[in-house]
Structure 1
Amino acid sequence: MAAYSAPFWRSLCLIAFCAISLQLHAASDDKAEDDIDDVSPEELQMQDIPVDERIFVEKWNEVPYKKSYFTYTDKQIRDKWEYLVRGLKVPYPSAAYMEEQFTKYPFMKEGIIGWDGDYQALEARSLRVWRKFFAGDFQEAREEGLQLGPIGKIPALFSQLMYAIYLADRQSTKYMMLQDVANQAKEYFDDMEEAADDPAVAPIVASIKLGYAYAIARIAEESPVPIVVARRYIGKIKNSAEEVVEIMPDQPLGHAFRAGVDAGIMRRVGKFTGRMTYGARTTTVQESFADALKLAPDIPIVNYEYANALIYMNRKRDLNEAISYLEKAMKIRPEFSMDALDVMYSYKRLQEVRLYALNFRSFRKFEKLRRKYSKKTDRNLTSIISDPLSMEMLNNPEKYILPKRN
C-alpha cells in the first residue's frame, strides 16, 4: 500500500466530513444527489497545478473582434484612464508617480528589464503594455508587462487571466495559466505588505491580491469538492477577498469578488453547509453586490456575476431576475477588451442558464454533468470562441474530446 503523509490523511478526513455534510443537507438545499466527484489520491496530494511553460510560447488565440476598436493613443488612454480602470481603480503610471513610489518602496523597481532610470521612458513602456491589454493583444501585453516588474504585473497578469478564462481552448491550459497567475502574484505578497496602508499604492496591492484570489477561485469553481477541500482553496479565496476590500474599500471588483466567493461556496455545498462550515452568507452576497453596483453599475462582469450568484443561492427561484442581469450585462457597450469579453460571455452564460432551466430539475446534477463533460473533453466551458453547451454535448462527451496535447 502506498504511504501518504499526515496532511494527506487529515485532508481525507475533512473531505469525508464535507461529503457527509453534503449528503445530510443536499435535500434541503437542492433536493438532489450529492456533489462529490471521483478524484485520485495523486490529485488530492497536489497542492499546486504544474505549469507547462510551452503554453506561453505557443501562439495564443485571437480575440473575436477588431482590436482597432479599442486601440488608443497615449493621450486617449490618459483621458479615458479613470473609466477604463473603473473596476480596479489603479493609478495612472505617470513618470512622476513611479519615481515617487519607487523611492518609497524600492521593491517596485526590482525586476525591470532594460531600464536605465529614465522615468519618462518607463511611462511610455507602461502605456504600451496597457494599450495592448485594452485592445486585446494579451500575449504581447503579458510578455512586455512581465519585463516591468511589479508595476507591469497588473496589465500582464490580467491579460493572462482574460486569455485563460475566455480564449483558451483547453481546460488544462486554462488551469495552468490561472495557477501561473497565482504563483506570480504570490511572489510580491511579503514586499507589498508595507505598502498596503499607503493610499497611493493600495490600489496596486489590492489588484495583485485580487488577481491571485480570482485565479484560484476560477480553478476552484470547476474543481471537484474533494480537491477544493484538500487544497484549502476556500480559506485562501475567502481570506483574500476580505483583504482586498479592506485594503481598497472603493474598488468595485473587490466587492463583487467578495460577494461571488460566498455565492460560489453555496453553489458547491449549499446554503446550510456553506454558512455553518465556511461562514458564507446571503446577506454578504447581497450587500457586497449592492456596493459594487453602486460604485460601478456599468461593469458587465459585476452584472453577470450577480446573475450567477442569484442562481447559486436560490437555484430557479430567482431565475428571471438572474436572466435580467445577464441581459443587462449583454447590453453594456464595451470600450476595452475586458468589458468586451465579459459582454460576450454574458451571452454564452445565458445559453447555459436556459439549458439548465429547460432540461434539469436538479442544479447539482446539471453542475456535475457540466464538470464531467469538461474533464472528459478537456474543453474550456468559459471560452467565448467555442459553442455554447448543449444537451447533445452533455449526453455524448466522448464525441467532443480534444486531441491529446503534443
Structure 2
Amino acid sequence: MSLQLHAARDDDYDDEMDEVTAEELQMQEIPVDERIFQEKWNEVPYKKSYFTYTDAQIREKWDYLMRGLKVPYPSADYMRAQFKKYPFMSEDIQNWDGKDYEELERRYLAVYRMFFSGDFQQAREEGLKLGAIGKIPSLFSQLMYAIYLADRQSTKYMMLQDVANQAEEYFDEMKAAEGDAEVAPIVATVKLGYAYAIARIAEESPVPVVVARRYIGKIKNSAEEVVEVMPEQPLAHAFRAGVDAGIMRRVGKFTGRMTYGARTTTVEDSFAEALEMAGDIPIVNYEYANALIYMNRKRDLNEAISYLEKAMKIRPEFSMDALDVMYSYKRLQEVRLYALNFRSFRKFEKLRRKFSKQTDRNLTSIISDPLSMDMLNNPEKYVLPERG
C-alpha cells in the first residue's frame, strides 16, 4: 500500500508552541546527576559474544569497524609518535609509566573490545582512564547507551550533556592538531561526539529552548568544522546533512533557509557523499530516511521507508551498527504511525514530544515498545515512576 497520503504542507508551522517553563529557558546546560553512572546500566538485547573479538581480530577488522569514523588503529608506534608531538594526548592516562606503549596498546584494545561487543558501562569507565584517545570508545559507548538503551528521557539528556561537556574540554588543546592528517581523525571524532550529543538533545527539545540555548548555531558550526577537519569521514558528511534537515524539521524550509542557512541541496549532496563513501552503514541510511521526511513530509515517504528497510537488512558486525539496525525497525513503526494517522507532521511531532516529556520515556530506546496512538492519546497511562 502506498503511504503517500495527504499531500504535505509546508505551512503547518503555525503558532502551536510547546509549553516551556522559565527555568528551562534560563538553563544553558542540563545538570548532570552523577548517580546515573553508578547505577547498573541496561544490557544490550543481543548476545555480546556475537561481537566479542580477540586482539588479532580487532586489528584485522579495524578498517571495516571504523569505516564511518576513520579513527586510526591505536598501535604502540602510532601513540609513541603522536604523544611526542601532542603531549595532551598522553595526559590523564592512569597507571601507565609513560614508556610501555605495547601495554598501552593492549589496554586500548581491551576498551574497544568492550565497545564493539556492547559492554558500554565498562567501556565508559575504562576508557576514561586512558586520556584523549580513550575518550573515543568511552564517550561513544555513553552515546550509544543514552540514545538506544536508557529508559528515561531525563537520563538520556544528562548522559548526552555529559558527553558534550567532556568532549569540549579538549577543544583548545586539539586546535594545533587539526591540520595533522595523522591526528585529524581523533580531533574530528571528538568534535563529532560533542555535536552529536547536543543535536540529540536539541532534536526533541521545544523550539524556545533550542533558541535560548543557541543549540542550532553550536550544532551547525560544529558540523561544518568536523567536515573541514576530516572530509574523508562518512559520518561527518551524514551529520552535516542531518543538521540542516533537522533545522527544517523544527522551523520549516523557508525559515530554516532564511534564518539558519539550512538548504535541501546541502542535505542531498552531503548524504550522497556519505552513501558513496560507506553506503553499508545503517545510521547513514536511516538518517537519510529521516531527512527526506523532515524536508518533504509525505511526498517522499515511500523512498524514506525504502532507506529504513535497507538499514534494517544490513548485517552488523559490532554494537553500534547492531543498535542502529534495531532502531531502524522501531523508527519505521513511528513513520507508519505518522503516515496513517496524521495530516500534520507538526502535530505528530508535538504529541511525540509531549508524550516523552510527560512520561519521561526515551522514545529512541530499542528495548521499549514502539510509539502507538494509545500512548499519544493517553500519556498518563505510561508515566514512569519517580526515581528511587
| TM value normalised by structure 2 | 0.97
Per-residue Cα deviation, 1:274-295 (whole angstroms, up to 9, x for no partner): 0000000000000000000000
Q: Check conservation: 1:95, 1:122, Cα contact below 8 A.
A: yes
| Partner residue, 2:259 | 277
| Partner residue, 1:8 | none
| Partner residue, 2:3 | none
Decide which moves more: 368-377 or 28-37: 28-37
| Partner residue, 1:24 | none
1:291 aligned residue (273, 290, 293): 273
1:69 aligned residue (50, 53, 60): 50
CA distance in structure 2 between the partners assigned to 1:296 and 1:247 by the alignment: 18
Q: Cα RMSD between the aligned structures?
A: 0.9
Q: Is 2:247 the counterpart of 1:245?
A: no
Percentage of identical aligned residues:
84
| Partner residue, 1:191 | 173
1:234 aligned residue (207, 211, 216): 216
| Partner residue, 1:50 | 31
Following superposition, the deviation at residue 29 of structure 1 comes to 1.4
2:336 aligned residue (339, 347, 354): 354
CA distance in structure 1 between the partners assigned to 2:331 and 2:11 by the alignment: 21
Per-residue Cα deviation, 1:209-264 (whole angstroms, up to 9, x for no partner): 00000000000000000000000000000000000000000100000000000000
Per-residue Cα deviation, 1:72-111 (whole angstroms, up to 9, x for no partner): 0000000000000100000000000001000000000010
Q: Check conservation: 1:32, 1:365, Cα contact below 8 A.
A: no
Following superposition, the deviation at residue 35 of structure 1 comes to 4.7
Give the AA of the match of 1:203: P
2:297 aligned residue (315, 318, 324): 315
| Partner residue, 2:5 | none
Following superposition, the deviation at residue 33 of structure 1 comes to 3.9
CA distance in structure 1 between the partners assigned to 2:20 and 2:377 by the alignment: 21
Aligned length: 380
Following superposition, the deviation at residue 41 of structure 1 comes to 1.0
Give the AA of the match of 2:353: R
Q: Check conservation: 1:145, 1:153, Cα contact below 8 A.
A: yes
Structure 1 runs (4+) deviating above 2 angstroms are 30-35
SS at match of 1:29: coil
Per-residue Cα deviation, 1:51-85 (whole angstroms, up to 9, x for no partner): 00000000000000000000000000000000001
Q: Is 2:287 the counterpart of 1:305?
A: yes
Q: Check conservation: 1:33, 1:365, Cα contact below 8 A.
A: no
Following superposition, the deviation at residue 30 of structure 1 comes to 3.8
Give the AA of the match of 2:294: Y
| Partner residue, 1:365 | 347
CA distance in structure 2 between the partners assigned to 1:35 and 1:121 by the alignment: 58
Give the AA of the match of 1:345: Y
Q: Check conservation: 2:207, 2:250, Cα contact below 8 A.
A: yes
Q: Is 2:74 the counterpart of 1:100?
A: no
Question: Which ranges of structure 1 fall in alignment gaps of 5 or more residues?
Answer: 1-26
Q: Check conservation: 1:129, 1:155, Cα contact below 8 A.
A: yes
CA distance in structure 1 between the partners assigned to 2:11 and 2:317 by the alignment: 39
Per-residue Cα deviation, 1:149-171 (whole angstroms, up to 9, x for no partner): 00100000000000000000000
Q: Check conservation: 1:63, 1:167, Cα contact below 8 A.
A: yes
Q: Is 2:93 the counterpart of 1:112?
A: yes
1:78 aligned residue (49, 56, 59): 59
Q: Is 2:155 the counterpart of 1:168?
A: no
Give the AA of the match of 1:80: K
Distance 1:186 1:127, change over 3 A: same
Per-residue Cα deviation, 1:29-52 (whole angstroms, up to 9, x for no partner): 143644521111111010000000
CA distance in structure 2 between the partners assigned to 1:34 and 1:83 by the alignment: 47
Within a 5 Å distance, the mapping from 1:17-28 to structure 2 comes to none
Question: Which ranges of structure 2 fall in alignment gaps of 5 or more residues?
Answer: 1-7
CA distance in structure 1 between the partners assigned to 2:139 and 2:15 by the alignment: 35
Per-residue Cα deviation, 1:162-218 (whole angstroms, up to 9, x for no partner): 000000000000000000000000000000000010000000000000000000000
Give the AA of the match of 1:243: E
| Partner residue, 2:18 | 37
Q: Check conservation: 1:377, 1:398, Cα contact below 8 A.
A: yes
Give the AA of the match of 2:35: R
Give the AA of the match of 1:358: L
Distance 1:35 1:205, change over 3 A: farther
Q: Check conservation: 1:304, 1:326, Cα contact below 8 A.
A: yes
Q: Check conservation: 2:13, 2:251, Cα contact below 8 A.
A: no
| Partner residue, 1:328 | 310
CA distance in structure 2 between the partners assigned to 1:251 and 1:31 by the alignment: 35
